[in-house]
Amino acid sequence: MKKLLLGIVCLCLIVCGVSLLMPGCDEATGLIALIIEPAYVDLTPGSNIVEFVISTNSRGSELGLPLTWIVTDPSLGRIVGSGGYNATYVRFGANGMNTIIARDQYDNEGFATVRQMAEQYGLVLTATPAVIPGGSTLSTITVERNSTVDGEDATAPFTWVTLYPDVGIIIAGQGSDTVVYRSSKGGVNVVQCTDAYGVTGSVVVEQE
């Protein structure tokens, strides 16, 4: 009988100990406000890329990585790369308001706002083809001026860069309105073109 009572007491102690440990995970669910920096961004004419990072004030909490990054209006821009506490946003639309949401595995969330200012004119980039294999494959990218004034061309010389050089690079045409891009491996890359007046346009190249 004593052994039976002792066993029951031990079992109760184990159950109590487990119950004390479990709420720690539940308490983190949806209760931590993630702080995104910068929290508010004005993308003025000529700027179209933002690097977001979760503040160190949020990192001290028990966050569940990896983070999921969401944009509320994909027609204005998208997240083209993320890892750890960082994400890169690229603007597409000429103007408007976009909300960026970061969410961890416990459904804790943070928000940031991007206001995209209107430009007098914009640069429209076209990649042909826009989807290519990942290894040593070429795509031709052209730039045109998107303006309300007929007959105006984009303003040379043009500066071309890739957001992720390890994924692909410009191999020909630097300074002109048409370049040749070569992929290095699979993934997503962003090709960016800036004209003589600092106006910038971007195009995404998908590499399978």
Q: What is the pLDDT of residues 137-181, one digit of tens each?
A: 999 999 998 765 454 567 889 999 999 999 999 999 999 999 999
Instruction: Kindly report, residue by residue over 13-60, the tens digit of the pLDDT.
Output: 444 444 444 444 444 577 788 999 999 999 887 788 999 999 988 876
Give the pTM. Answer: 0.66
CA contacts within 13 A on the Cβ side of 144: 7
Q: What whole-number distance in Å separates Cα of residue 180 and Cα of residue 160?
A: 10
Residue 165's nearest CA partner among 179, 140, 184, 192 is 184
Contact 143, 196 (CB under 8 A): no
Instruction: Kindly report, residue by residue over 73-114, the tens digit of the pLDDT.
Output: 999 999 999 999 999 999 987 689 999 999 999 999 999 999
Q: What whole-number distance in Å separates Cα of residue 120 and Cα of residue 126?
A: 20
β-bridge partners, 191:
162, 203
Going by their DSSP bridges, the two strands 131-132 and 200-207 should be labelled as parallel
